[in-house]
């Protein structure tokens, strides 16, 4: 039994079975999540209880490797979660905030050819505890970041390996764990879930976690090109996706963001910017342009800085708010679209 799979009430019941008082269970739960502590570090617990926890409810979070970039402000870990699932997780320190990018699956079944994870295929879904426990590693890493005065996790984005909405129940329950005031106690508005356009998930999360942010990886503004870049568009084409995001916005009163990976000669021309503009305006969305990060198995290439500037100019001329995402961790393959499983396979 992995301790990170246990909610606070589950832990209380287990402690009652052991003849331990409920306050001890709450103490352990806060230690695991709020303090991101190991059992060894919970010196306020009796030694015998710590030994029993290690034996019967281990906190399974193993760091197989860790790399850093951006003068230590970005760290990527290869983590073994639970008994066997292995994923990559990234923590990024900024001035005044620390963001953890978590994975929801080992691999991905969405098949986007410009993404390293998409080229892998799907290995496994992660459990809620496995997803949320990546933030525990992030909190430990945050304390060692030189670039952020925060030195604690302030934001979590579901933008790592996998499609969160294709593993919806685990994603939903992981968010619940992260928002729990007795545990990690993150604010809902500091959590963002990214999706390539799984319509049922967008509609579900509007009801389950209405204050959590939504980022839609669009990448193309017509169905023909989007079918090629994001194959799930064949199931939920642009009109249906836009309708779902519009409903999400109406139910949550929050502004969605549109993610757009800039690929040379593919989706970076004026025509795509013009097609994107009315979609973004109708959804009251903010557009994030992502300079493509090269991956070994992809024939796509990054747009030039000049082409990106032109795309920004066209969007702004059409009244669309837009920013170009700061690329972090590219040299350690920790940037958007670069997370993969070769290292995980080699670690077995």
pLDDT at 328 (0 to 100): 56
Among 58, 73, 95, give the residue marking a domain's end: 58
CATH number of the structural domain spanning residue 54: 1.10.150.530
State the CB neighbour count (10 A cutoff) for residue 334. 26
Q: Is the pTM of this model over 0.85?
A: yes
* pLDDT lower than 70: segments of the chain: 147-150, 296-297, 327-348
Q: Are residues 6 and 100 in the same domain?
A: no
Q: Are residues 131 and 52 in the same domain?
A: no
Domain that holds residue 52: 1-58
pLDDT at 114 (0 to 100): 83
DSSP assignment letter at 150: T
Residue keyed to tokens 């729990």: 180
Q: Are residues 172 and 48 in the same domain?
A: no
Q: Which residues are designated catalytic?
A: 88, 336
Q: Are residues 271 and 141 in the same domain?
A: yes
Q: Are residues 137 and 252 in the same domain?
A: yes
Q: Are residues 36 and 142 in the same domain?
A: no
Q: Are residues 67 and 212 in the same domain?
A: yes
* Structural domains of the chain, count: 2
pLDDT at 147 (0 to 100): 57
pLDDT at 57 (0 to 100): 95
Q: Are residues 11 and 94 in the same domain?
A: no
Distance from C-alpha of 24 to C-alpha of 30, rounded to nearest angstrom: 10
The residues facing 287 across adjacent strands are 258, 322
Q: Are residues 337 and 274 in the same domain?
A: yes
Contact 48, 330 (CB under 8 A): no
């Amino acid at each position: 039994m992995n301790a990170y799979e246990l909610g606070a009430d589950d832990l209380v019941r287990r402690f009652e079975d052991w003849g331990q008082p409920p306050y001890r269970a709450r103490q352990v739960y806060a230690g695991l999540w709020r303090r991101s502590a190991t059992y060894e570090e919970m010196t306020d617990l009796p030694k015998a209880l710590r030994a029993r926890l290690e034996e019967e409810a281990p906190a399974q979070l193993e760091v197989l490797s860790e790399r850093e970039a951006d003068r230590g402000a970005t760290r990527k870990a290869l983590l073994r979660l639970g008994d066997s699932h292995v994923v990559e997780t990234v923590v990024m320190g900024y001035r005044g905030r620390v963001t953890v990018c978590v994975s929801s699956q080992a691999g991905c079944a969405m098949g986007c050819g410009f993404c390293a994870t998409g080229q892998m295929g799907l290995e496994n879904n992660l459990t809620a505890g496995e997803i949320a426990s990546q933030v525990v590693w992030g909190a430990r890493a945050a304390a060692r970041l030189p670039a952020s005065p925060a030195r604690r996790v302030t934001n979590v984005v579901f933008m790592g390996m996998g499609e969160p909405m294709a593993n919806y129940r685990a994603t939903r329950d992981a968010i619940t764990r992260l928002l729990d005031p007795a545990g990690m106690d993150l604010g809902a508005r500091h959590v963002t879930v990214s999706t390539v356009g799984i319509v049922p998930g967008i509609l579900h999360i509007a009801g389950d976690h209405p204050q959590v942010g939504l980022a839609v990886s669009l990448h193309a503004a017509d169905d023909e090109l989007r079918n090629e870049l994001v194959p799930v568009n064949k199931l939920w084409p642009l009109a249906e996706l836009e309708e779902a995001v519009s409903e999400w916005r109406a139910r949550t009163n929050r502004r969605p963001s549109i993610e757009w990976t800039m690929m040379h000669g593919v989706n970076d021309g004026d025509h795509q910017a013009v097609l994107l503009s009315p979609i973004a305006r109708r959804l009251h969305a903010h557009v994030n342009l992502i300079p493509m990060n090269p991956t070994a198995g992809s024939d796509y290439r990054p747009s030039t800085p000049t082409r990106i500037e032109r795309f920004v100019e066209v969007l702004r001329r059409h009244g669309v708010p837009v920013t170009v995402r700061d690329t972090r961790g590219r040299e350690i393959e920790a940037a958007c679209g670069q997370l993969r499983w070769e290292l995980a396979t080699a670690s077995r």
